[in-house]
Structure 1
């Protein structure tokens, strides 16, 4: 059921993400902007709005994964596809995944502060008081060690969540079982994932020089171009997550399709 993938596959996944995106870029971007619009609307809800975006993230993710499957099968992508997860018989498990993601973030934040003497809390309070800081000021106060430790603490949770959504939606797994399989699938193919994330990190760095070029021409054009490139990269990254699933667990068949 679960295959171990070699390191080279990490770069292959990135390339496959670009291939999928090139098939129907405007339809994918439209789906993304619809998602962003709904997310911004949720943020208007006092207090709960911030948590609702995380809570509903796994449900909306089903729509994006299904969109990637449609791309592979040369099917048309419609805005309604974004709400596929809400029609799934496994919507409760998907919402449970959202709750666990929120809990994982709280635990990571709490544990990091416990070890680092509230370094993250102090930084966030200082940032809230002073507002936006320039690069020099930010470098002086940024708790680099605390942030790195926070990332390390969250990695096991990220591994458990990586495949949980498609495993729930397409393999009909329970929430805990999906997280178990997800964690060990990523662990067994850690070399491929290391290459995958390093590749995306390197590609994202290339955006900055391009932005600087446009900023040198006109600051308004630069900001618009940087924002547009960030949106496109996000969508391509999401497209590339689909082959990470199909390489390890196989392509969802018609029975799996009916599950969503």
Structure 2
């Protein structure tokens, strides 16, 4: 296994491949993403430790979405079992992934603790409790500073863990080493990841414009009745929710392609387990 440095334009290919893979199996991919959200959400409601458990499971769940993308790219049906690939491959894989999850949870908590130094913990408490949009909190200048600090800290945190689940699972890299390799891969391919981020910003913006335009047309033609009616509000909210699910599912489908293009895996190193060897995509 060694790092591959790709041209900046590859970032656009990653986004395009994620969209293409989603539309190969749109219902299956949407259902998998809903299951992804449901697993993490249900875990998060466990009293006292739910938030930490959800963070611990995040790398394994993300790996599951990548495994589903790999299956779809290879022409196989993406099944719900793919979401639990890290735990189905055996105890050794599960332990390594849970250790990676513990590192992620610890890093995330440390990030929130640092942000608490700027606002007394208001933003951190609001984030953990799920009350992240209260107007009185958002308008507080110290909370705004804490939010920006959290955003800036999350960037290097995401770089550390971006490729880590796939490196641990498919390439058998230790959790600590996977963080190093993931960070270096993101730095070395910063051009491609910048284009990738801009491409997804454009896709999400285009999606919002399409949904907004469609909803407006429905209102103007009277299909939903008066714009202030309960039906109009429900339909508009439903369209926004469905479009958000589809767009975010597409984004998660694209994660697999960022990984296989950043790391070259020699054929002779292919692992024996069914889920232990990713296939190289074409950009």
Same fold (TM over 0.5): yes
- 1:240 matched to 2:254? The reply is yes
- Give the CA deviation at 1:86: 0.5
**Which one has the bigger helix percentage?**
1
Q: CA 1:208–1:139 in 2, change beyond 3 Å: closer, same or farther?
A: farther
Q: CA 1:196–1:144 in 2, change beyond 3 Å: closer, same or farther?
A: farther
- Give the CA deviation at 1:138: 7.5
- Give the CA deviation at 1:158: 1.2
Q: CA 1:226–1:256 in 2, change beyond 3 Å: closer, same or farther?
A: farther
Task: Report the count of equivalent residues.
Answer: 255
Partner of 2:3, secondary structure, is: coil
From 225, 236, 250, give the equivalent of 1:222. Answer: 236
Q: What's 1:161 paired with?
A: 161
- 1:100 matched to 2:103? The reply is yes
Q: What's 1:171 paired with?
A: 171
Q: CA 1:39–1:131 in 2, change beyond 3 Å: closer, same or farther?
A: closer
Q: CA 1:72–1:250 in 2, change beyond 3 Å: closer, same or farther?
A: farther
Where structure 2 has 5 or more consecutive residues not aligned to the other structure, the ranges are 220-231, 277-283
Partner of 2:270, secondary structure, is: helix
- Give the CA deviation at 1:60: 2.2
The superposition leaves residues 125-151 of structure 1 with CA deviations (integer Å, 9 ceiling, x where unpaired) of: 9x9999854xxx777436444322222
CA distance in 2 between counterparts of 1:71 and 1:53 reads 26
Structure 1 window deviating more from structure 2 (145-154 vs 14-23): it is: 145-154
Structure 1 window deviating more from structure 2 (21-30 vs 145-154): it is: 145-154
The superposition leaves residues 167-190 of structure 1 with CA deviations (integer Å, 9 ceiling, x where unpaired) of: 001100100111111010101011
Contact residue 115 and residue 124 of structure 2 kept, 8 A: no
The superposition leaves residues 76-118 of structure 1 with CA deviations (integer Å, 9 ceiling, x where unpaired) of: 122222221102332111111111111111111122232x343
The superposition leaves residues 211-260 of structure 1 with CA deviations (integer Å, 9 ceiling, x where unpaired) of: 44455532111100100011111110011111111111136969347264
Contact residue 96 and residue 174 of structure 2 kept, 8 A: yes
Structure 1 window deviating more from structure 2 (32-41 vs 75-84): it is: 32-41
Compute the RMSD of aligned alpha carbons: 2.9
- 1:76 matched to 2:77? The reply is yes
The superposition leaves residues 34-78 of structure 1 with CA deviations (integer Å, 9 ceiling, x where unpaired) of: 223333332342122222111112222222211111111101122
Q: TM-score, normalised by structure 1?
A: 0.86
